[in-house]
Amino acid sequence: MNDAATTGDPRFRELAGRLDAVRERIARAVGSAGREGQPPRLIVITKFHPADDIRRLAALGVTDVGENRDQEAAAKAAELAEAGLAWHFVGQLQTKKAKSVVRYAAAVHSVDRPQLVDALAKAVLNEQDATGRAPLDCFIQVSLEDDAGAHRGGALPADVPALADRIAAAEGLRLAGVMAVAPLGAAPEPAFENLRRVSELLVQAHPAASGISAGMSQDLEAAIKFGATHLRIGSDILGSRPAVGYSRDCWK
């Protein structure tokens, strides 16, 4: 997208302003946490928004985007194959979708059970044989709720070591760290502090698995305070979901 095209594009200017505001929030939170020189990686969650918005984000310097539905993600990744973006799958993932996801995703942030580890490992090896793709980064999703992830997914903290060993032993997979979503209706700080403890235990056994994927529009400051290395920000950058054309049902 060239300068002439962006100058008269109100949506481009809107996204630029929103992105700047989020980057300023991140910079302030990094400073408050004493993490200068260690800024987290910004993943813009683009679900339900059109490919044209992602092109605008790429022109604004965004390099990482996230999706949570395979059908939608696969279509966008194919359309934007020349944009040089890293695609992150952040939603609950059925094992039968592993083959599709590894065709475009650089990382999966929602690995929460052994069967999914095995499905991803098999799919990655097949894809590597076909295309030579890089290893798939895998974040273990940790449930920080009392329901053991029944509603929002995630493994119990006690199950993380075994999952981590399984990922680390799988050819084609790279254990990247942990991921979590703060519980609804509660302060995020205790949850993210708990996630940091889970991460510290993981790193003792797997030193390279230091990633912490945490923090969304409403709680990025708390996530940064407790060590988030990857932020997943959607609505504060892209705004409300489009009313037409990208409804929740159209990508099922």
pLDDT band of 248, cuts 50, 70, 90? very low
pLDDT of residue 30 exceeding 90, the answer is: yes
Which residue's entry shows tokens 């680390």?
168
In angstroms, the CA 140 to CA 210 distance is: 11
Residue 207 phi, psi dihedral angles, 5° rounding: -55, -30
* CA dihedral for 204, 158, 102, 63, sign (positive or negative): negative
| Percent of the chain at pLDDT exceeding 90 | 86
* Cβ count near 146 (within 10 Å): 7
Query: SS3 for 211?
Result: strand
Cα(154)–Cα(143) distance, integer angstroms: 4
- How do residues 54-83 score in pLDDT, each as one tens digit? 999 999 999 999 999 999 999 999 999 999
Query: Which tens digit of pLDDT belongs to each residue from 135-188?
Result: 999 999 999 876 544 556 899 999 999 999 999 999 999 999 999 999 988 999
For a pLDDT cut of 70, what percent of the chain falls above it?
90
- Examine the pLDDT at 201 and tell me if it is beyond 50: yes
**Structure confidence at residue 121 (pLDDT):** 98
Identity at 176, one-letter amino acid code: A
Q: Which residues have a Cβ under 8 Å from the Cβ of 191 and sit 6 or more positions away?
A: 144, 180, 182, 183
pLDDT at 145: 79
